[in-house]
Amino acid sequence: MSVHSSSIVEDGAVLGEGVEIGPFCHVGSEVNLHDDVKLISHVVIAGDTEIGANVRIFPFASIGHEPQDLKFKGEKSTLKIGANCTIREGVTINPGTEGGGLETIIGDRCVLLANSHVAHDCTLGNNIILSNNVMLAGHCQLADNVICGGGSAIHQFSRIGRNSFIGGMTGIEGDVIPFGMMRGAHGRLVGLNIIGMKRNGFERKSIKAASDAFKQIFAGDLPIRDVANTIRQTTDDLLVLEILDFIDAAKDRQLCKPDPSKA
């Protein structure tokens, strides 16, 4: 373990083996840094924040400070970041609030590029990439393997299904089905993230089944959930069922859809 002489580590902070704290960092009294965490320089970590092993955090990141939520009244809340993550320059990550379960969670092997923001009560799975200047509002849920292009913005409470791809400068105002491909200032579904599905080793047969289901769900004028229930009676494909389960899980939530003018 090494701590640069210009840095401050408050009494009570827990530092694992091999932790390296570079110049001009500040680590708060409730922070827990697991083994081999590296703070490059000028990193500030506050609050009840736990950071997993082998995480690298770059200059001017602000981690664990109080949420940007006017309803926050100082209640005890937490932030947990998994192992093997990379957090680049200027990233901000806030802990939870009473209105969202009092915790923000980021999984393993996530990459948060410069100036991206993860707001209070967000839950991120594993292997997620937030490109430069991505903005996640409060209470967002991102499943495994989601990629968000530079400058994209996710509205509060949105659910983003696994292996989805959010294009650069895209605004997300609703839920994105698993494997969805989003594009546009006001994001519209433009198909499935076929390239990402192939990269993650999904079978060609399942990719074809999911693509056919996508076309059936979003074609025509029938209610989406009615069509989804019909498809459920005729398929046993796990990827298709995952999309159907996602649609069925939150009946009061708006789903992102294709642009009908492009049909």
36 among known catalytic residues? no
Residues 6+ positions from 190 with CB-CB distance below 8 Å: 181, 182, 183, 184, 258, 262
Which residue is catalytic, options 34, 120, 139, 155?
120
DSSP code per residue over 31-80: -EE-TT-EE-SS-EE-SEEEE-TT-EE-TT-EESPPPS-TT--S---EEE
SS3 content of the chain, % helix, strand, coil (to 5): 20, 25, 55
Residue 182: how many other CB atoms lie within 10 Å: 25
Which residue is catalytic, options 138, 149, 187, 196?
138
Return the bridge partners of 84, or none: none
Residues 6+ positions from 91 with CB-CB distance below 8 Å: 57, 58, 61, 62, 63, 112, 113, 114, 115, 116, 117, 118
- The secondary structure of residue 16, as a DSSP letter, is -
Which residue is catalytic, options 36, 48, 69, 121?
121
**Angle of CA points 90, 123, 79, to nearest 5°:** 60
d(CA 82, CA 84): 7
74 among known catalytic residues? no
Q: Sign (positive/negative) of CA torsion 39, 43, 44, 47?
A: negative
125 among known catalytic residues? no
Q: 188-192 and 180-183: which strand pairing? A: antiparallel
d(CA 146, CA 5): 39
Give the active site residues: 120-121, 138
